[in-house]
């Protein structure tokens, strides 16, 4: 996710071209080939083998997934699941190339704007019946499933969620006599009052980067501008609500550190951990706060992102992470589904989510009550914060995937970080928000027309 997607698309095109050329070369040999020997019949008693590709590379996450795989394999002697960790920097090229070469894994993790790429290659299996089965058993949160519903099917099985919240220290607010803000008016006043010697009221990014795209979208959601597209696929980015969001961002940005134009996620967390920033917007700060700051759960505050006066309730950006099924083999399909049933079963699901405690949130109602999710030592320590994160995630939205619509051209917009580029026109170049948003829509129209 952190890699610039423009380069991803370029590399993807090269990888696809290479794979297709290789396939064509294999299909049209220069000389007659010797007749291939008949393949040996498959052993009907052999276990069905399933390969899982995921992009959770940190060793402790790989270890937790392997623990669950080992338990599943031991309980299902007719199925063998293997994991092969990948990374987000390569998967946009590696997965399509694997599909083209016929050696794709049976299961592959996904985010909403990655799924259409594989789906367009014709190998992703519809999963609405399986998702309905899990929904009936455990109660999916609708916001987790919505980004994968389009073209008449559900193209992936949601596994976990990630959503932004507003993080602060309760003691800092108390010393300043400030209540946690719920509206933009209160938020701006709090940021101004908390900006003192050695402390900035809030840390906001302005880099042309995915993190800035995400934070800008938080403001758009809370101004009523979460829809970038009209239902017919035309852009509606240039509207009064978007202008309101960018204008308010610029007002709040006056209380952000001067180096924030260079920020990504890590710099924001560091600013909060060392007390330079009184507030930040982030998926979670629990791990850095626990290991690099005070680690006092009673002082760590997290609340929904404040909203404008024109919006009734707070919202946020959220990424529903899922898994795609890529095999047409009925036996492998059923084996893969059995493994997913195992993962999503309470008792297993909480341990799966806690491969990274505090970051990965449940996408089912049963999962949010899973004792194995809440019994993790970090989850026990920061239970109230995680409960707020789970609640916030239920109001999550993602640009290009709202209200049941999916517009694959959003990949061209996000690949060039055009939400962030538009913000830079306002907060760095000093352009009025109305002009910058109009220019932003023109840039988006150019991007999706190419």
Q: Catalogue the long-range contacts made by 424-430 (C-beta closer than 8 Å, 24 or more residues apart).
A: 424/206, 424/208, 424/261, 426/246, 426/247, 426/249, 426/250, 427/206, 427/249, 427/250, 427/253, 427/261, 428/206, 428/261
Which regions of the chain are under pLDDT 50?
Answer: 1-40
Per-residue model confidence as pLDDT tens digits over 258-295: 999 989 888 999 999 999 999 999 999 998 899 999 99
Decide the pairing of beta strands 48-54 and 107-110: parallel
Residue 203 DSSP code: B
Q: In this structure, are residues 115 and 148 in contact, taking their beta carbons and an 8 Å threshold?
A: yes
Tokens representing 135 are 């929904």
Task: Report how far apart, in Å, the C-alpha atoms of 136 and of each of 132, 149, 177, 366 are.
Answer: 6, 17, 47, 11
pLDDT score for 112: 87
Which residue, among 425, 450, 446, 449, has the nearest Cα to 437 in the 3D structure?
425
Per-residue model confidence as pLDDT tens digits over 394-448: 788 898 887 777 787 887 787 788 999 999 999 999 999 999 999 999 999 999 8
pLDDT score for 9: 44
pLDDT score for 73: 98
pLDDT score for 265: 85
pLDDT score for 287: 86
Q: In this structure, are residues 422 and 436 in contact, taking their beta carbons and an 8 Å threshold?
A: yes
Phi then psi dihedrals of residue 302, to 5 deg = -145, 130
Q: State the pTM of this model.
A: 0.78
CA atoms within a 13 Å half-sphere pointing along the CA-CB vector of 11: 14
Q: In this structure, are residues 154 and 131 in contact, taking their beta carbons and an 8 Å threshold?
A: yes
pLDDT score for 42: 57
Tokens representing 182 are 């719920």
pLDDT score for 1: 38
Tokens representing 442 are 């023109």
Tokens representing 365 are 């109602």
Q: Say how far apart CA 127 and CA 149 lie, in whole Å.
A: 10
């Amino acid at each position: 996710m952190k890699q610039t997607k423009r380069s991803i698309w370029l590399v993807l095109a090269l990888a696809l071209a290479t794979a297709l050329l290789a396939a064509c070369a294999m299909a049209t040999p220069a000389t007659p080939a010797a007749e291939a020997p008949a393949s040996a019949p498959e052993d009907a008693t052999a276990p069905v083998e399933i390969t899982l590709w995921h992009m959770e590379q940190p060793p402790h996450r790989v270890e937790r997934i392997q623990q669950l795989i080992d338990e599943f394999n031991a309980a299902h002697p007719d199925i063998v699941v293997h994991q092969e960790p990948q990374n987000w920097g390569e998967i946009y090229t590696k997965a399509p190339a694997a599909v083209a070469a016929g050696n794709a894994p049976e299961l592959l993790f996904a985010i909403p704007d990655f799924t259409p790429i594989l789906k367009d290659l014709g190998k992703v299996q519809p999963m609405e019946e399986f998702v309905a089965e899990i929904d009936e058993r455990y109660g999916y949160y609708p916001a987790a499933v919505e980004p994968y519903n389009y073209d008449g099917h559900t193209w992936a099985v949601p596994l976990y969620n990630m959503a932004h919240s507003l993080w602060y220290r309760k003691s800092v607010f108390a010393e300043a006599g400030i209540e946690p803000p719920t509206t933009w008016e209160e938020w701006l006043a709090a940021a101004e009052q908390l900006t003192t010697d050695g402390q900035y009221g809030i840390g906001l990014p302005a880099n042309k980067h995915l993190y800035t795209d995400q934070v800008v979208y938080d403001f758009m959601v809370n101004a009523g501008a979460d829809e970038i597209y009209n239902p017919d696929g035309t852009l509606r980015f240039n509207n009064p609500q978007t202008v309101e969001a960018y204008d308010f961002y610029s007002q709040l940005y006056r209380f952000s550190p001067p180096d924030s134009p260079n920020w990504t996620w890590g710099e924001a967390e560091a600013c909060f951990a060392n007390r330079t920033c009184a507030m930040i917007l982030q998926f979670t700060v629990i791990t850095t706060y626990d290991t690099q700051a005070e680690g006092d759960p009673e002082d760590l505050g997290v609340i929904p992102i404040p909203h404008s006066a024109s919006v009734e309730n707070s919202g946020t950006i959220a990424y529903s992470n899922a898994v795609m099924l890529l095999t047409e083999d009925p036996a492998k399909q059923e084996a893969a589904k059995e493994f997913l049933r195992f993962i999503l079963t309470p008792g297993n699901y909480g341990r799966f989510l806690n491969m990274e405690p505090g970051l990965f949130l449940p996408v089912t109602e049963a999962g949010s009550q899973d004792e194995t999710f809440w019994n993790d030592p970090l989850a026990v320590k920061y239970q109230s914060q995680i409960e707020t994160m789970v609640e916030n995630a239920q109001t999550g939205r993602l640009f290009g995937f709202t209200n049941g619509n999916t517009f694959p051209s959003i990949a061209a917009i996000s690949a060039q970080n055009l939400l962030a580029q538009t913000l830079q026109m306002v907060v760095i170049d000093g352009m009025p928000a109305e002009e910058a948003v109009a220019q932003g829509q023109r840039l988006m129209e150019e991007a999706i027309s190419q």
